[in-house]
A and B are shown apart, each in its own frame.
Chain A
Amino acid sequence: SQQGEEDPQALSIQEGENATMNCSYKTSINNLQWYRQNSGRGLVHLILIRSNEREKHSGRLRVTLDTSKKSSSLLITASRAADTASYFCATGRGGGNKLTFGTGTQLKVEL
């Protein structure tokens, strides 16, 4: 069964605005990852945050993890039209390479 739920399901913003997506999960995890998927394409790994980390940055991306609330957020700052895609959180269990994906957020960044 699906582990993570993301909200919002869809998000539409203007270029230059920040986009925040949230992910909640149900069981304990080794790590949580965020992926991006352009329509009809494969997944691109964005960032991984380990269970003992609380915040991580990568370029315009900022990820937080709250293991007590079993939740994570992905913030994309100064969004661009090219950021339009679906974003998925994924939690790792066992050795960490077996991933369970969240429901995803479809982000649309308009010019």
Chain B
Amino acid sequence: GAVVSQHPSWVICKSGTSVKIECRSLDFQATTMFWYRQFPKQSLMLMATSNEGSKATYEQGVEKDKFLINHASLTLSTLTVTSAHPEDSSFYICSAWEGWVGELFFGEGSRLTVL
């Protein structure tokens, strides 16, 4: 099946720094990708819809200036957590829509720890 790769799989950073997480569709083109956030033992909360070549659509309550999303190519979307704080520590998961087969594929997630 199609593969979605996230990098890095885990990252530790100091408070105030920015962290970029990449989401790549390895063997298909994805015009739409989604970013989710998951706290321990909780469900996935949709943060934003990333559209290739246009601005991301953010869910209510998600700060777009805090979580910058760029979808510059059909195989790559990036999520940048700007000026990260400990409360941003979470598991971030992306998914990519494979329109040809009509299926959504998820990355393995990226665990962010902000000290």
Contacts and interface: CB of A to CB of B under 8 A. Distances in A.
Interface residues of A, number: 19
Contacts of A57: none
A99 B47 CA distance: 11
Interface string A63-104: 000000000000000000000000010000000111111111
A99 B109 contact: no
A37 to B, nearest CB: 9
Contact of B111 (A40, A44, A96): A40
A43 interface: yes
A42 B103 contact: no
Contact of B103 (A45, A101, A103, A106): A45
B104 A42 contact: no
A52 interface: no
A42 B34 contact: no
Interface in B72-98: 91, 93, 95, 97
A101 B44 contact: yes
B25 interface: no
Helix, strand, loop or mixed for chain A's interface? strand
B111 A98 contact: no
B43 A42 contact: no
Contacts of A2: 43, 45
Question: Interface SS of chain B: helix, strand, loop or mixed?
Answer: strand
A82 to B, nearest CB: 18
B90 to A, nearest CB: 12
B67 interface: no
Interface string A49-61: 0000000000000
Contact of B109 (A42, A96, A97, A102): A42
Interface in A30-52: 35, 40-45
Interface of B: 4, 6, 32, 34, 36, 41-46, 49, 91, 93, 95, 97, 102-109, 111
